Amino acid sequence: MNIQKIGLSLFLVGFIAFIATLSLGEYQLTPEVLKTTVTNADKRAALTPQVDPMFRKRFGDQFNFVANLKGGFELANAEIKQKYAFSQAEIDAIAAKNGKKYSKSPIDELYPKGNELNDFKNKALKDYTGWLESQSFADAKALKEKLTTTIQNINNDVIQKKGFSSYEIKNLLFSITKASSDGWVAAHPALWFLLTIALAAVGGLLYILPSLTSFPGIKNNGVFTHPGTSRGWIGILVGSFLISFYIFLYWFPEYITSWVLMVDPLSNELSGNPASQWFLYGLLYCVAMLVMGVRMAVKYRHNRYQLVRTASVVFFQLAFAFLIPEILVRFNQPYMDFKNIWPLDYDFFFAYNIDGMVKAGTLGIFMLGWGIALFAIAVPIMTYFFGKRWYCSWVCGCGGLAETLGDPYRQLSDKSVKAWKVERYLIHSVLVFAVAMTGLTLYTYFTGASQVLFLDTYMVQKVYGFLIGSAFAGVVGTGFYPLMGNRVWCRFGCPLAAYMGIVQRFKSRFRITTNGGQCISCGNCSTYCEMGIDVRAYAQKGQNIVRASCVGCGICAAVCPRGVLKLENAPEDGRIHDQPILIGNDSIDLKK
């Protein structure tokens, strides 16, 4: 108990210090910072006058610093739009040159090439009004109205082409804020890493390891009454932190630059580059899985299958999702998580990713072929022989975090029929969404046309990235562990799980067999099923469990006190047959 109290104290100190570092930063913007972060000279020239007052001021918190920086971007964009956008007088002049029939000929007269501004307007007019060439109108007024509408589209795109887009501003806010940091954390990043992340990890291990002195086996002590595992106040606090973390990570990383600074030394050692918010996330992901993986091993040490499975998911996350991609970057190769599979890896076929792999040469082409082979060949074959468990419970990083960090919350998964219906509709809808988006993406890549019917490829990608890739997979998928169980994403949203689930349900050797005659209806199996399956109902009837959602984690078998459940890979003809309940020397066939 004393060791556990020390461990809990160290964890809380490290965690509180981790939060406190966000308030320790000081920020000083300099022309040198702008030169290194805003590489486009024209954009930097537009931004510099707008943020000039910041050069002479030292900011004590990032909120004030970021607010001033955002204001600078807005002013710069307003100035850029005023410079490059067409005024009403210009539209009148263009219309007057054409009369009732449009021609691009006057464009060279009105905007002779030779300077940057005229070159932009000349090209934009020719690109956007080419479809009007030689068209006749009832009168000059009708032509002017059509021209006004078309040129308004040019004005709307000025910021995208010449100014700071919303995506660019988001990235620059982070990089400029991080480069402008000048406080305790920036001065001693390694020390603060030890005082926060490392200290919390050590405290967590000290809290976990004394459990080795107790008897092995599942005891169910307080899982439905403890405030940390029953949607109590501790669980709500943990969930609130996780949700907040993902919101800042995805959409406001400029406010967590102190955390990113702490891992800069490690990032420089691995990839040769300063840390990004994604390196921070990957590191925290691995630390959480390592610490909670130890907890998993201690808790389920009576079951060899769980020990090997836990070691497997931790290894694949640490090696394939974190270390190998960072080392690849150090050798100027494309960043790739070799275990991530489309459609879970939804941007695999995005133009920037394909182009990056093709330009990398032999290794890049191998990466492209490897990714295609995984979802087209490996997934159906492996799922046929082993079910979804080969990936979801042994390899996948999402599943690995759910099985380790999320293990205390597995009993919170909804086992109702209503939840099952929502699950089936929702997860297959996400799969259809992912397939449709990928189809549009490949069409655009090979044809150059960005729109199919009324669907714009880049808008569809943006919507999917926001709703599914960020909000669902991150904020809800992990943040809701203490509220809805640890497999929210895997159960309701993962398109790869949906793909494998279809194979597993109709064409796989995998099933969980039951010996109904031994079931005592203790409910351990249903309690611990993270995928919302009422396992006890199957066991009581002696039915094999063949469900598309089952990830074959095997916890139901590990917690069964009677050995009723068994994970099997057997011939397909025995997958869906009920097993008779044995009573004495006779048996009752449940089909009769």
pLDDT averaged per 10 residues in sequence order, the chain, 592 residues: 92 97 93 95 94 93 94 95 91 86 88 90 88 85 88 88 92 96 92 97 96 81 88 95 97 96 96 96 97 95 94 97 95 93 96 94 94 96 95 96 95 94 96 96 90 87 95 96 95 97 93 87 92 93 90 93 89 55 42 42
Give the model confidence (pLDDT) of 455-473 as tens digits.
889 999 999 999 999 999 9
CA–CA gap between residue 101 and residue 137 (Å, rounded): 6
What residue ranges define each of the domains in the chain, with the CATH number in brackets? 26-182 (no CATH), 215-251+333-507 (no CATH), 509-588 (3.30.70.20)
Residue in 195, 169, 208, 198 with CA at minimum distance from that of residue 70:
169
* pTM attached to this predicted model: 0.89
Q: Is 453 helix (H, G, I), strand (E, B) or coil?
A: coil
Q: How far apart are CA 443 and CA 449, in angstroms?
A: 7
Distance CA 372, CA 348 (A): 9
The Cα–Cα gap between 534 and 31 comes to: 62
452: enclosing H helix or E strand: strand 451-452
pLDDT at 572: 65
DSSP symbol at 565: E
In one-letter notation, the amino acid at residue 347 is: D
What size, in residues, is the chain?
Answer: 592
Whole-number pLDDT of residue 213: 87
User: How confident is the model at residue 582, as a pLDDT?
Assistant: 42
Residues whose CB is less than 8 angstroms from the CB of residue 455 and which lie 6 or more positions away in sequence, other chains included: 440
What confidence score (pLDDT) does residue 573 get? 62
- The tally of CA atoms less than 13 A away on the side-chain side of residue 585 is 0
Q: What is the pLDDT of residue 160?
A: 86
CA distance 421 to 440: 29
Q: How far apart are CA 209 and CA 43, in angstroms?
A: 55
CA–CA separation, 323 and 337 (whole Å): 9
Give me the sign of the Cα torsion angle 325, 343, 402, 469.
Answer: positive
Q: Residue 438 forms beta bridges with which residues?
A: none
